[in-house]
Amino acid sequence: MQTATRTFRLEELAGALGLAFTGNPDCSIRDVGTLDSADPDAATFLANPAYKPALASTRAGVVVMKPDMAETFNGNALLSANPYADWARLIELLRPQPAAAAGIHPSAVIADDAQIDDSAHIGAQVAVGAGVRIEARAVIGPACVIDDGVCIGESARLVGRVYVGGGAHLGRRVIVHPGVVIGADGFGLAMEQGGWRKVPQVGSVRIGDDCEIGANTTIDRGAIEDTVLEHDVRVDNQVQIAHNVHIGAHTAIAGCVGIAGSTRIGRYCMIAGASGIAGHLDICDSVIITAMSTVLDSIDQPGEYGSGIPARPHARWKRLLVRLGQLDEWARRLRRLEQSNNNGPSRHE
């Protein structure tokens, strides 16, 4: 559902965002758009210099941009050191998220000893287990299942159809998108007499304040100790976080990443899509892992790491594969050549 919009004069908008501006202070702004599509009553932004040529033809009422980019722009501008972040704040002003009405839907099933703040919202077909605590202004959307002993922090929002397993703790302002499973059993198995024995998973999950979990992501409960996401961790859709993983604050993980059990990831890391991280590793702070990478060893130095192979035209890729298949033979030839040279007469003899 699209949120209702508000209207600001440019001068009011600049004041609300704490930004300087150039242009007509009375320009009315009520919508948002791209540089190409924005109408005269809409705001847009320019963060990537590659898109600067589009300024010449944009019809936007105001553009959020860095001051140096605005020097040759004749339109209205909001001057920002960080245009993308201020663009996010601008959208929040123009399209504020509607508050959910406090109360419990008649179809919800609530355990007798659950503690639910009067200001919280409990949607249709929600199930809330024994000993659950749901704090002020939390929103539990339709068809969520909150197992026994869970704590949902103040102003957290479970959009809908979310499962939270027993004993999990979600911090304040956490956002959890549909289809997420938090606290299912980790993949713990022991081989015994030719078959698998399930290892009981007795830990839980702790998620810090201001985290966001994308749709259909799974975060397994710990085997003994808890799986932990520190505060302000951002996880995209369809990510697998295994038991006892520990993810440091402010780390961002893109879609379809898989993280195996007991790996520790530091703070301010960025892990690009479809990467796989093996278990029992330590990744230090401020590491960037590029898309489709496979991480099999611990990383103890900040920086950028990757192993994904970028796409190439198919005919060229087939030639590369043939050459890859010849590497062993080339290596043997090189060793034989080196041995022949080493065994041969010296040039000085």
Q: Provide the annotated active-site residues.
A: 243
What's the rounded Cα separation, in Å, for the pair 156 and 100?
12
Closest CA to 262 of 220, 202, 299, 213: 220
Closest CA to 135 of 148, 122, 124, 123: 122
Please state the φ and ψ torsions of residue 219, each to the nearest 5 degrees. Answer: -125, 110
- Token pair, residue 163, equals 């499962």
Bridge partners, residue 197, by sequence: 190
